[in-house]
Amino acid sequence: MIGGPPKTAVAGARVAWGPSVCGALAGVLWLVVSPVSAQTSGTVVMTSDRTSVAVGDTFRLQVRANVTGAEVTRFDPPSLDGFAVRSRQVSRPLQFRFGFGQQQQVIQSTTVHTYVLEALTPGRHTFEPAEAEAGGHTFRSDPLTVVVGGSGATPPDPQNPQNPQNPTQIQPQQNPNAPAVAVDGAQVDPIAFIRTVADVADPYIGQQTTVSVYLYTRSPIRAAPHVDQEPTADGFWIHDLLPPQRSLDPEIQNIQGQTYRVYLIRRFAAFPLREGALTIGAPQMTLQSGSLFDLFAQPQQMERTGVAIQINARPIPNAPSGNVVVGNYSVEARIDRTQARTGDAVTLLATVRGTGNLRDVRFELPSTSALEFLQPQIQDRVEQPGDRVGGVRTFEWLVIPREPGTHVIDGLSLRVFDPETERLSTVAAPPLTLVAAGNAVPGIADPDATDPDPADVDTPVPPPTSSFAFGPIRQASALDVGRPPVSSQPWYWALLFGFPILGLTALLVGRVRRRPVDETKVAKRTARKQLADAEKHADASEPREFYAAITATLERSIEGRTKTTPRGLTHEELRALLRDRGCGHDLIRRLVEELESCDFARFSSAGGSREEMLACLKRARGLLAELERVPVAAEEAAA
Amino acid sequence: MNRVRSHAVAAAFVIAALGPSLGLAQSTEEIFARGNEAFLAERYDDAIEQYERLLDAHVVDPDVEFNLATAQARLGRLGAATQHFERTLRLRPSDAEAEAGLQAARRILAERRAASEGVGEIIVSGGLSDAMYRGFTEPVLAWGLLALVVALLLSVVWFRRARRRLRVGLALLLVVESIATTAFAVGVMTKRGVFRDGAEGIVLVDRAALREGPDERHASRGQVREGDAATLLETDETGHYIRVRIGDERGWVARDAVGRVTF
């Protein structure tokens, strides 16, 4: 859990050159004879993934000897007293580099000793320099110090070796100014993962804990990752610590033998608003990895989700009732003048400086009959040196003395809890004195304001005590009992829509009643029915009935058109009637002939054949069709 | 003898039926008088308590609302005063004293804000339709609409039966009546809140927290200001919080921080 920036102890290249010309000549000769270079140089580097551990914690110590021009013949690791060696690995990759032409052939030798050590005793342990000998030269590393603290580190979860709350192998902060890590959440991934850390695991309510979100990637990213889901912070008041515009520069870090690029994505100050377990939610990001300059490689898009971390907010111990602010503050106060007329406004300025959540800082200055405090104007100047939020909060009141005399303003004090010392103290500004002269001036909340003296109208009165006297009250009232609105009653809507519906219904009924009977259509329908009857008579060989039906059909049709019954008319009168209605001569002639022939056939046995009757029926249909085209007498009159 | 007995029974029934209402009438008058006495004795808290008892007894009266508003204003509770002046004007739009009191309460609230913050703005309720029908009560509009509908119907009948000379004048009358009917219908709908998404209210507490959810643990979106008009959208299950819209902001505030204007 506990970890600091990784230390690297690097010895500078210690190359022993032949100081003499002879040596140089021997070297040239050796170059000719030997297939490899005679120049020998090298470094020995000793590194540890953690420099601050607790007793029982394991960490990785690595000693790397790089030698060019010779092979490592001897290697002396540092003394490991005070630590138990849990594992040891030695690797000796040997590399040859061949040159052409004027280039030399070079041999490069690397020896890497990796130890996993467990701290046994607390204290400050210094590893002596490691030594490597190659080509007759000795190379040394720098010493390395590891601080072992007391026991108390969270034991690793055996069920979950990658317990997000205990990523013992992760050291994200190369920057020494980065906040310490107290709560840690990460799910290590061989390609990329998100890590969320907080610097205080159990802050008091109102105390700052700094939360940082890092992105670890093996390969560089093409652009700033898109944060699909911000880390939620319910129960906290949040203040961002990173500027909105900044460059995303990675730091290189080695985790479990793998090199990662570490990007700082978010950092904010979180102030708990209530006690108990509060959660910083898991962030989610989408990123594209791959070098921007690698034209042949396809960018790889990845989505990663972080791990939520839990902060345990503690209540402020022995906190009195009322407003207690957490941090470190000082209070100053001043007044723009110490003497004023009653009713004149005086400006009271209070300045609070310090570290903590400034928004929690407030003063209660209740108005009295002698002094009225208007709502203050509050201005904040938030600063964050070293990622610790603080700054200056300024309160500006207008104070109106209502009564003459000497008034003392002494309410500008804060109860402050310092989480570092865990002490509660009171910070206060010295009392201020205001001398007011003049007559008493009633305020808005003053009962005396009911009957303002007209002489006071000209007195300069501040805006909030405007000269409006509310009242007088009403002494009599009908004391109506509330009734539901008229428009919410069902009967109202029944009436509202009933009248139009009734009216429309009456209108429609009247219209239907006044509608004229279309005699033309009735006559047409009757004629069609009579023709059908006639056809039945023809089929039944009933000539008398057939011709009677044809005659009746034609006469009814003529009556429908002329509005005059043709019965009883002579043929000449009928011709004249039809002529008056605009019938053509041919139609008149055929109608009269058909009526004559029907009269004749009704009493004659010759016209009784079926064929004769069907021919008559066909003619009658033709005559009726022509008659329907003749204008009706009433329509013509109306036109 | 039987007749006397039947009269006595009838009288008993009448007394039993009217008794409670008579008692209530006396009671509300007494409460009103006690409230007024307390006000005149400058015991404004007592006066407010008495007037609120009347409201609890379902008294909906502009004078009670006015007295309550005045008592609240005397105590400096200008948000509550604004609420009850508004309610007075809903019941009696022509009440000039209530209108003056409302304007004064708003002005003083704005001046307070301006003195402390440089700018003092009060959010007032309603849109164009509310402003148009502010001078009318709901019953006036409702009955007027009904009368206009009947008049329109009669005019249509008259138009159909009238001689041709009269028809031009009747057509103009029909147009005027149609416009008036539409206007009154919109007025009734406005009073019924058809064009609003909630009841009207007023913020009673200055700088009460406007939260994202109906619980004090939810994050604060800001503060509401005393006297601002609010639309009351919904109440949470516990009844302790109410969701409001104030200007363009929406959120939850404590139930006691807002008062209802709509009856």
Closest CA–CA distance from residue B239 to any residue of chain A (Å)? 23
Q: What is the mean pLDDT of residues A213-240?
A: 87
Closest CA–CA distance from residue B217 to any residue of chain A (Å)? 7
Q: Best of B22, B24, B64, B83 to disrupt the A interface by mutation (most A CBs within 10 Å)?
A: B64
Closest CA to A240 of A197, A211, A278: A211
Closest CA to B243 of B202, B212, B205: B212
Q: Give the pLDDT score at B251.
A: 92
Report yes or no: B101 at the A interface, CB cutoff 8 Å: yes
Asked if the Cβ–Cβ distance from A500 to B153 is below 8 Å, we say: yes
Closest CA to B99 of A560, A5, A22, A470: A470
Q: Best of A486, A495, A507 to disrupt the B interface by mutation (most B CBs within 10 Å)?
A: A486
Residue-wise pLDDT for B1-50, tens only, equals 455 555 555 554 444 444 444 444 458 889 999 999 999 888 999 999 99
Q: Give the pLDDT score at B223.
A: 86
C-beta atoms surrounding B105 within 10 Å: 29
What secondary structure does DSSP assign to A491-519, as a single string?
HHHHHHHHHHHHHHHHHHHHHHHTPPP-H
Residue-wise pLDDT for A175-199, tens only, equals 445 556 678 888 888 888 999 999 8
Q: Give the pLDDT score at A147.
A: 80
Contact residues on chain B for A374, CB-CB shorter than 8 A? 112, 115-116
Mean pLDDT check: name the lowest of A70-79, A172-181, A472-481, A573-582: A172-181
A158 pLDDT exceeds 50?
A: no
Q: What is the mean pLDDT of residues A94-105?
A: 48
Q: Which of B104, B113, B143 sits opposite A468 (nearest CB)?
A: B104
Asked if the Cβ–Cβ distance from B73 to A474 is below 8 Å, we say: no
The token pair that represents A383 in the structure block: 């600063």
Report yes or no: B188 at the A interface, CB cutoff 8 Å: yes
Higher pLDDT, A408 or A321: A408
Residue-wise pLDDT for A609-628, tens only, equals 888 888 888 999 898 888 88
For A235, the closest chain B residue by CA position comes to: B217
Residue-wise pLDDT for A247-259, tens only, equals 888 888 888 778 8
Q: The tokens 């009850």 sit on which residue?
A: B84
**Kind plus residue range of the DSSP H or E element containing A544:** helix A543-562
Asked if the Cβ–Cβ distance from B70 to A477 is below 8 Å, we say: no
Report yes or no: A480 at the B interface, CB cutoff 8 Å: yes
Residue-wise pLDDT for A547-571, tens only, equals 888 888 888 888 877 878 888 888 8
Closest CA–CA distance from residue A499 to any residue of chain B (Å)? 7
Residues 6+ apart with CB under 8 A from A145: A7, A51, A124, A125, A126, A127
The token pair that represents B4 in the structure block: 């006397």
C-beta atoms surrounding A427 within 10 Å: 16
Beta-bridge partner residues of A111: A65
Q: Give the pLDDT score at A436.
A: 83
Q: Is the Cβ–Cβ distance between A301 and A286 less than 8 Å?
A: yes
What φ, ψ does residue A81 adopt, rounded to 5°?
A: -65, 140
- Spans of chain B, pLDDT less than 70: 1-26, 126
A365 pLDDT exceeds 70?
A: yes
Q: Give the pLDDT score at A321.
A: 64
A396 pLDDT exceeds 50?
A: yes
Report yes or no: B104 at the A interface, CB cutoff 8 Å: yes
Q: Give the pLDDT score at A7.
A: 40
Contact residues on chain B for A462, CB-CB shorter than 8 A? 115
Q: Which of A476, A480, A486 sits opposite B138 (nearest CB)?
A: A486
Asked if the Cβ–Cβ distance from B111 to A500 is below 8 Å, we say: no
Average pLDDT value over all residues in chain A? 76
What is the pLDDT confidence band of residue A467, given thresholds at 50, 70 and 90? low
Nearest-angstrom CA–CA distance, A192 and A189: 5
Q: Which of A480, A485, A486 sits opposite B59 (nearest CB)?
A: A480
Q: Give the pLDDT score at B35.
A: 92
A288 pLDDT exceeds 60?
A: yes
Q: Give the pLDDT score at A525.
A: 81
3 state DSSP class of B17: helix
3 state DSSP class of B252: strand
Give the total residue count for chain B: 263
Q: What is the mean pLDDT of residues A7-26?
A: 39
Q: Give the pLDDT score at A172.
A: 45
Q: What is the mean pLDDT of residues A479-497?
A: 84
C-beta atoms surrounding A350 within 10 Å: 25
Q: What is the mean pLDDT of residues A590-603?
A: 85
Asked if the Cβ–Cβ distance from B64 to A487 is below 8 Å, we say: no
Asked if the Cβ–Cβ distance from A495 to B146 is below 8 Å, we say: yes
Residue-wise pLDDT for A17-44, tens only, equals 334 444 444 444 444 444 444 467 788 8
The CA-to-CA distance between both ends of chain A, in Å, stands at 108
Report yes or no: B135 at the A interface, CB cutoff 8 Å: no
Give ∠ CA A223-A227-A231 in degrees, rounded to 5. Answer: 145
Closest CA to A526 of A565, A567, A555, A566: A555
Asked if the Cβ–Cβ distance from A463 to B111 is below 8 Å, we say: yes
Q: Give the pLDDT score at B252.
A: 94
Distance set, CA A355 to CA A381, A384, A389, A480 (Å): 12, 9, 6, 60
The CA-to-CA distance between both ends of chain B, in Å, stands at 53
Closest CA–CA distance from residue B58 to any residue of chain A (Å)? 6
Nearest-angstrom CA–CA distance, A155 and A54: 10
